[in-house]
Structure 1
Amino acid sequence: MSRETFQYICRRLKPALEKMDTNYRVSVPLQKRVAVALWKLATNAEYRTVSHLFGVGISTACDCVKESCSSVEEILLPETIQMPNTEKLKEMALYFEHRWGLPQCVGAIDGSHIPLVAPQEYHTEYFNRKGWYSIVLQAVVDGRGLFWNVYTGQPGSLHDARVLRLSALWDLAERGQLFSQQLRSIGGQDIGHYILGDAAYPLASWLMKPFPDNGHLTQQQEVFNHKTSKARVVVENTFGRLKGRWRCLQKRNDCSLERVKSMVLTCCVLHNLCESHDEEYREEWGVPIPFSQPDLPLQPPIAETEGTGVRATLMHHLNCVADV
């Protein structure tokens, strides 16, 4: 992270962190507090190591991380990761169409598992299908790999589709308030904005998924699956860059569940800041992301009649474009 971005973060967090100062202790300088938190998030070093490196007590290092993450949630999260407005939706849709040929697409959704030490309560719920404990980070990203919706904290044993249904994103979509009604005529049908998901997600007019590969896909269905899969990689790449920069998300975290959730959200905010400020990213930081293999669709199958017409229209459109 450049000095300019670091100073920007310190300036923005200053009002919240200053509230936490008291007259009964010598306060650690603001920049050191933020630096301790960033170092912990970036390296996942033990608090003992962090305290030695920065010359503060272990409990002080813990407080620096807790207070800095809380301040990021209070100040930076609402303005850095937010639902796109009408103009932003248009911009995102144009980017997806220009890069991948997908009209009206404004994002891709996926889940990533964040490892943690087994919680004391309900620990079996956090044991995921790969054999370790985790919470799920559900995220929607735009075509440039910036988060515009994140939801985390659900136990790792939950299916991606179940996590979606527990999120505010699903609630907004069910009430018809996820996207503004900016319709575009495609193949004679009015199509609104939508996001892309893998086979684990339900099909809806606002959420496109691939045709199930039962060995009998038509050529047009294969073209649709191939083109949407290429675009959906953007969310997997984003998770890779997120965990490459902020390595606390790679290894088991022994903090409380609430603290882990706060750290995850903070890392998502910092990802957006670093990406939008064109901070350096080295490819060797990247790591293979567990759970890149999608969950199997829920059984029995969920009725998905709502989005079938939209998917069929987009399939024909993508095949027409491919034939040109």
Structure 2
Amino acid sequence: MGEDEQLRSLMFLMTYLLLKRRRDVNSANIQRRDEIQRRVRHRQYFFQRQRRMLMMMIAGGIRSNVRIRTRPWTTTPRSDWWERVVMTEFQPSDWLDKFRMSRETFFYLCDKLRPRLARQDTSFRLALPVEKRVAVALWRLASNVEYRTISSLFGVGKSTVCRCVRDMCHAIVALLSSIYLRPPSEQELEDSAQLFLAYWGFPHCVAAVATLHTAIITPSSNASDYANPAGWLSVLSQVERTSVEASAAGARSHAACFCGLPQVAVSARGLFWDVCASFPGGTDPADIFQNSSLWATAAEGGLSPAPTPIFMGRPLRYVLLGEACYPLQSWLMKAYPEERSRRASRSTLTEPQQLFNWQLRRALRVSEEALLKLRARWQCLSKRNDCGLDVVPTMILACCILHNMCESHGDTFKADWQVEVSEAESPQPTHKTLLSTSMDQSNAEEVRGLFCDYFQLQNH
């Protein structure tokens, strides 16, 4: 009986092992068959995808062969438009019309911005070349067209266009401010004073201070703060402009629609020194100026070389010219208020005072023409800017720097560009004349009297 039980147990064990082995073999066969079918489906998918891509390439080649070649940049929204048309077929006039600068200046700008704009290729896509990124951003600054239009033209996404504009503006401010937007040296101050006298007839002056309104979309909060005296929303900038070449011609129109108010200082040569941007359009320009670095520098005598130059037989620092909304200072000249008498229609100003006002208004045309050139070249400042308020101030600074760069490189400025600015919907607002003398400097009237005496002598 013991041997029968052992034999029965052995048979049971062998039967169990055989069944388990058969089950394992069947399971392995099923897994192998599933893996083979998966690989077949995967290979069929890639074969079909490759076939579709090949057919698309063939179809695209056929379309490009039959496409009309006359002025293709007006009808060809392909991604290779930049490489195939701009880089090979653009003439010098095309570079000026589309990018507002010469080809040589364009590539100079690309080389300067390369450290901040260069990107590395990834395993998913190739990075845009620096030249194409700069071209996308310049197209936006020069035309102020919508992102989707530029996206279709350059064959990139709308988000890429937005990122190119932001990156380039920040790169320009970071890398080129020290070169093209800096305080003048003593020699440049003397040159600017001579040019103001030679071209505008105003002596002992180095720059003119002006304001610029840039139209914006309605902000999400505090919209009333951005309403300027003309009633539309804007950002205010204060600009000081100095330049080596006097702008002897140009339109005097103020017609333009602006999003912000920058305050600027402009020299006789048409280049900007300093720009204070990002202020709401309803801000008083006098408040902006008094809180700027230019005010502190000028008040401390930083706008004159040593020793102090002589004017009308006495030492006098160089002066700036400003609009009637600024306080009178010994270094900041503004016009006498044009008050009319009640009984007579003629002005109550004396003849020397009237002559001073005429000469000052004539000299202030340098800032008008400078800002007109700026808005005509970069029309994102002359039309309503739909960028966010975090981008607009940087964009204004970048446009001022680009303007200085183009002027320094001698790039042609086309008079046709001013037509669109002159036809803008919203003209620059007129700021309220500052009649109170409480903010005037004590000896400022004496200095203004010296200029009246000078013009009186010149008139005789």
**Under TM normalisation by the shorter chain, which class is it?**
over 0.9
CA 1:133–1:21 in structure 2 vs 1: closer, same or farther (change >3 Å)?
farther
Specify the alignment match of 2:146 in structure 1: 46
* Alpha-carbon separation, structure 2, partners of 1:140 and 1:30: 32
* Alpha-carbon separation, structure 2, partners of 1:6 and 1:106: 30
Specify the alignment match of 2:179 in structure 1: 79
Map 1:17-56 onto structure 2 (within 5 A): 17-18=117-118, 21=120, 23=122, 26-56=126-156
CA 1:79–1:317 in structure 2 vs 1: closer, same or farther (change >3 Å)?
same
Flag the structure with more relative contact order, 1 or 2, with Cα contacts below 8 A and sequence separation at least 6. Answer: 1
- The Cα shift of 1:189 comes to 2.3
Q: Contact (CA 8 Å) 1:160, 1:295: kept in 2 or not?
A: no
- The Cα shift of 1:276 comes to 1.9
Specify the alignment match of 1:234 in structure 2: 366
- The Cα shift of 1:16 comes to 1.6
CA 1:101–1:129 in structure 2 vs 1: closer, same or farther (change >3 Å)?
closer
Give structure 2 stretches of 5+ with no counterpart: 1-100, 236-260, 340-346
- The Cα shift of 1:154 comes to 0.6
Q: CA RMSD in A?
A: 1.8
Q: Contact (CA 8 Å) 1:13, 1:75: kept in 2 or not?
A: yes
Specify the alignment match of 1:130 in structure 2: 230
Specify the alignment match of 1:60 in structure 2: 160
* Alpha-carbon separation, structure 1, partners of 2:416 and 2:430: 22
How many residue pairs match? The answer is 322
Greater gyration radius: 2
Counterpart selection for 1:207 from 328, 332, 339 = 332
TM-score, normalised with respect to structure 1 = 0.94
CA 1:184–1:172 in structure 2 vs 1: closer, same or farther (change >3 Å)?
closer
* Alpha-carbon separation, structure 2, partners of 1:165 and 1:23: 50
Specify the alignment match of 2:269 in structure 1: 144
1:243 paired with 2:375, answer: yes
Comparing 38-47 and 88-97, the one that deviates more: 88-97
Q: Contact (CA 8 Å) 1:81, 1:148: kept in 2 or not?
A: yes
* Alpha-carbon separation, structure 1, partners of 2:185 and 2:430: 32
Q: Contact (CA 8 Å) 1:203, 1:306: kept in 2 or not?
A: no
Give structure 1 stretches of 5+ with no counterpart: none
Specify the alignment match of 1:307 in structure 2: 444
Specify the alignment match of 1:90 in structure 2: 190
Comparing 265-274 and 299-308, the one that deviates more: 299-308
Q: Percent identity?
A: 39
Aligned partner of 1:293: which letter? T
Moved over 6 A (4+): none
- The Cα shift of 1:315 comes to 1.2
CA 1:26–1:157 in structure 2 vs 1: closer, same or farther (change >3 Å)?
same
- The Cα shift of 1:49 comes to 0.6
CA 1:182–1:81 in structure 2 vs 1: closer, same or farther (change >3 Å)?
farther
TM-score, normalised with respect to structure 2 = 0.67
Specify the alignment match of 1:317 in structure 2: 454
Q: Contact (CA 8 Å) 2:204, 2:311: kept in 1 or not?
A: no
The 3-state SS of whatever aligns with 1:247 is coil
